[in-house]
Amino acid sequence: MTKVSIVKCENYEHDNVKKAIKKSLDFIGGLPKFVKPNDTVLLKVNAIIGFPPERAATTHPAVVRAMAELVKEVEGIPLVGDSSGAYGFTGQSLEMCGLRKAAEDAGAGVVNFESTGTYSVNVDGRVVKTLNIAKPAIDCDVLVSMPKLKTHQLTKFTGAVKNFYGVIPGTGKAVIHKMAPSEESLSQAVVDIYSALKPALAVMDGIVGMEGEGATNGTPVESKVIISGADCVALDAVASEVIGFFHKDIMTTRFAHERGFGVGMLDEIEVIGEKIEDVRLDFKKSKYIVYKFPDFVRKFMFGFAENVSIVEISEDDCKKCRICVESCPASAITLESHPFIDQKKCIKCYCCHELCRNGAVKLKTSFLGRQILKRLNYKS
Ligand code: SF4
Ligand code: SF4
């Protein structure tokens, strides 16, 4: 049976974190089972945005430092890598979320996927057939997903599987978003990416998670767990239940399970350490409503449903940094005289909302949209 371990960890104090990670890895067979001497071990962290660790948008540096030290103790060669959500900002993100320093403190290398080059990889994907994947994710001997425990506005939850969206550097992310603007299509695209990789292990930072408007604009919540497993899909099934979601509602988990890339059904997973019910929290879901409409309603309404929640830029808050402009897959944003989003071009992918560091991109839900949700008896 696939094993996933849950270990309590009260805070980000270095010794506590290291002990908790070690214990969680021991529960699933111990790190030497996964890392042999001289193996290059890529810790694929979440450095989506240049926020400080307290914002809980990125993998905490204490978790990454402890994991890199543990890798060194079994004579592996740790590397810490990612590409940020916005093209051209990975170096800044790694710096600002403390991950560069964490890697350096542990004696690990740092890899910015924007400058490592990519391999073109063909996959039997539902959305994408060819992917440009950062070379270190393919070249490493051991690939480790190190996600943050978070909600997500479009996919509801983001964990060990979705963490690999970052192996697509440059403008590739925006291109995939354009091809896959809905919860269902984006989840399939995430699984397409996952299908090209061979992760050996996942260690999730759930000491402080994020509820509400994740993956970057939510609220930090003390969740006090480290979750580990060899199967990223199984880890996600467990982690989503830990924050009060139903694991079968998470499409990345469901599709990865259905397509044979892991075990996403809770009754096929052995949970070791803490029981889910003993650490379970009730994370708030995103208020953003598009994904809450059943597919048949969305289809029936010919796109109307998507227009009841729109994004707008507050001119007062906008610093004209251009991150949203560079990241918008639909080229819908202009800043010339004043910040403007062309709603006809906008595909509602919410990248701009996710990546704006100044909170200038606002989500607006119309009165009518709220009434429709009431009728559908949706409870947030
Ligand atoms: S909306 Fe945000 S990301 Fe876009 S230009 Fe303004 S400050 Fe930058
Ligand atoms: S304007 Fe924002 S939500 Fe619309 S397509 Fe561009 S990035 Fe996505």
Q: Is the confidence at residue 268, as pLDDT, over 90?
A: yes
Q: Which of 279, 305, 321 is the last residue of a domain?
A: 279
User: Where does the pLDDT of residue 308 fall: very low under 50, low under 70, confident under 90, or very high at 90 and above?
Assistant: low
Q: Is residue 133 part of a domain?
A: yes
- The position carrying tokens 């060819």 is 130
Q: Count, in order, helices (H) and strands (E) of the chain.
A: 14, 16
pLDDT tens-digit profile of 37-59? 999 999 999 999 999 999 999 99
First to last CA, the chain: 34
380 pLDDT tier (thresholds 50, 70, 90): very low
Give me the pLDDT at residue 290, please.
Answer: 57
Contacts 24+ apart (CB under 8 A), 322-328: 323/86, 323/89, 323/355, 323/356, 323/357, 324/351, 324/352, 324/355, 324/356, 324/361, 326/86, 326/87, 326/88, 327/85, 327/86, 327/87, 327/173, 327/174, 327/351, 327/352, 327/355, 328/174, 328/352
Ligand 1 contacts (CB < 6 A) are 313, 318-324, 335, 339, 356, 358, 360-361
**Domain span including residue 252:** 2-279
**H helix or E strand, kind and range, residue 177:** helix 172-179
Instruction: Give the residue-averaged pLDDT of 164-172.
Output: 93
Which helix (H) or strand (E) segment holds residue 355: the answer is helix 351-355
The β-bridge partners of 145 are: 44, 202
Please indicate, yes or no, if residue 285 is contained in any of the structural domains: no
Do 304 and 270 share a structural domain?
no
Cα distance between residue 215 and residue 165, in whole Å: 13
Q: Assess whether the C-beta atom of 360 lies below 6 angstroms from ligand 2.
A: no
| CATH number (domain holding residue 345) | 3.30.70.20
Q: Which of 279, 305, 334 is the last residue of a domain?
A: 279
Closest atom of ligand 2 to 333 CA is 1
pLDDT tier at 219 (50, 70, 90 boundaries)? very high
In a domain, 317, yes or no: yes
Q: Hey, which of 351, 361, 364 would you mutate to test ligand 2's pocket, going by the most ligand atoms within 8 Å of its Cβ?
A: 351
Mean pLDDT of all residues in 347-353: 85
348 lines ligand 2 (CB under 6 A): yes
Confidence of residue 364 (pLDDT cuts 50, 70, 90): confident
User: Contact at 8 Å (CB) between 232 and 161?
Assistant: yes
Q: Whose CA is nearest to atom 3 of ligand 1?
A: 356
Question: Position 17: which residue type?
Answer: V
User: Does the pTM exceed 0.95?
Assistant: no
CATH code (residue 46): 3.40.50
